[in-house]
Amino acid sequence: MTIKLPTLIATSVVRGSRQGESHGGVYTVDFEKREVVQHVDWNKSDIDFAGRGADRGLRGIAFSGDDILIAASDELFRYDKSFKIKTSNRNHYLKHCHEICRFERTIFLTSTGFDSLLAFDLDQMKFTWGFHLQRQYDQWAGHTFDPRSNMGPRPVNEYHINMVHVDSTGIYLSGLRTNALLHINSKMEVSEFCSLPEGAHNARPYREGLLFNDTVSDCVRYVGRDGKDRAFKIVTFDEADIEFAGIDDSKVARQGFGRGLCPVGDRLVAGGSSPSTISLYDLDSNQKVGSVTLTMDIRNAIHGLELWPYE
């Protein structure tokens, strides 16, 4: 059986770059035609340069009709299909956003700098809801707040929330230090859906199991309830071919760093890594289908990754 390969949209962030240099961008990658197009070069002059890669580059991606929603660290941008900015929205409680997710007419965003989730109403074009994650008496908990008021949480990044997935069963979230994929039900009760290794990215329910970037182990993993577990080693390169190696003394910019994950139907999964590379994996055959590397600059890493819906 011949599988039609997808077109993906990806964002990247760049660590260690200076003012006047690129801080990442937005790309479409057509695996079928083997074509890569850069649509946005993120080189804004007002980017915060304090502290590693926190404010550099573009992050999570979602779609609403003909609109492309892309998050920066503290701003949600709405692009048209030609990547012209239509609107942008900020909120005091949106800080160091990582991933975003659309469910019905709402965009859910991780606010890593506040240990929170925010909701953006696509009809009102406003931030209308917030949820602050807490751990009390060794149990997960949290409370809602109005992001339009000044009564929300203080800035705190204890759990480094970096992933949100929303469907009809509720809200799922995880972070570098949650060590679990958490679930929020309709009563705003928080429970542990399953455990995760520390440092995981992009965890979400998938098929009859769990899909995530096991970033510390440099693997993309699928753990199935049917016992059909998969572990795909993330691609790495000869050190001599890596550009700007050693420029980031935080040691965060390293090759094989897995972030960005996108199911492509029920069989294929796309994963991002550093230097900016997108790999396509076949869960049924347990094989890597192929990889596309956008740059060998080790500072440049994939962040957001989604299936391109416009054909």
Q: Any idea which of 6-15, 124-133, 145-154 has the lowest mean pLDDT?
A: 6-15
Q: What is the pLDDT of residues 210-222, one digit of tens each?
A: 999 999 999 999 9
Query: Nearest-CA neighbor of 87 among 99, 75, 97?
Result: 75
Q: Let me know the angle formed at the C-alpha of 125 by 101 and 37, rounded to the nearest 5 degrees.
A: 55
pLDDT band at 75 (very low <50, low <70, confident <90, very high): very high
**Residues pairing with 220 in the sheet:** 213, 232
Percent of the chain with pLDDT over 90: 76
Cβ-proximal residues to 235 (8 Å cutoff; 6+ apart), any chain: 256, 273, 277, 279, 288, 291
3-class DSSP assignment, residue 117: strand
**Residues pairing with 104 in the sheet:** none
Strand order in the sheet with 287-293: 258-264, 268-273, 277-282, 287-293
Query: Nearest-CA neighbor of 16 among 73, 70, 55?
Result: 55
Contact 166, 103 (CB under 8 A): yes
Which 8-state DSSP code applies to residue 252?
A: -
Instruction: State residue 282's pLDDT score.
Output: 96
Instruction: State residue 51's pLDDT score.
Output: 39
Mean of pLDDT over the chain? 90
What is the enclosing helix (H) or strand (E) of 244? none
Instruction: State residue 66's pLDDT score.
Output: 96
Between residues 225 and 92, which one has the greater pLDDT?
92
Instruction: State residue 161's pLDDT score.
Output: 97
For the cut 50, the answer to whether the pLDDT of residue 49 exceeds it is: no
| Spacing of C-alpha 104 from chain mean position | 19
Instruction: State residue 249's pLDDT score.
Output: 45
Query: Nearest-CA neighbor of 199 among 246, 155, 259?
Result: 259
Considering only CA atoms, give the Rg of the chain: 18
- Which tokens in the block code for residue 115? 């240990």
For the cut 50, the answer to whether the pLDDT of residue 53 exceeds it is: no
Q: What is the mean pLDDT of residues 288-301?
A: 91
Query: Nearest-CA neighbor of 54 among 41, 73, 70?
Result: 73
CATH number, domain 7-307: 2.130.10.10
For the cut 70, the answer to whether the pLDDT of residue 149 exceeds it is: yes
For the cut 80, the answer to whether the pLDDT of residue 240 exceeds it is: yes
pTM strictly above 0.85: yes
pLDDT band at 308 (very low <50, low <70, confident <90, very high): very high
Instruction: State residue 148's pLDDT score.
Output: 96
Query: Nearest-CA neighbor of 153 among 109, 95, 193?
Result: 95
Q: What is the mean pLDDT of residues 269-298?
A: 94
Q: What is the pLDDT of residues 14-40, one digit of tens each?
A: 865 454 455 679 999 999 998 999 999
Q: What is the DSSP string of 186-197?
A: TT--EEEEEE--
Q: What is the DSSP string of 22-76?
A: ---EEEEEETTTTEEEEEEE---TT---SSTTTTSS---EEEETTEEEEE-SSEE
Burial class (CB in 10 A: 0-12, 13-18, 19+), 1: exposed
Instruction: State residue 192's pLDDT score.
Output: 97
pLDDT band at 247 (very low <50, low <70, confident <90, very high): low
Instruction: State residue 245's pLDDT score.
Output: 75
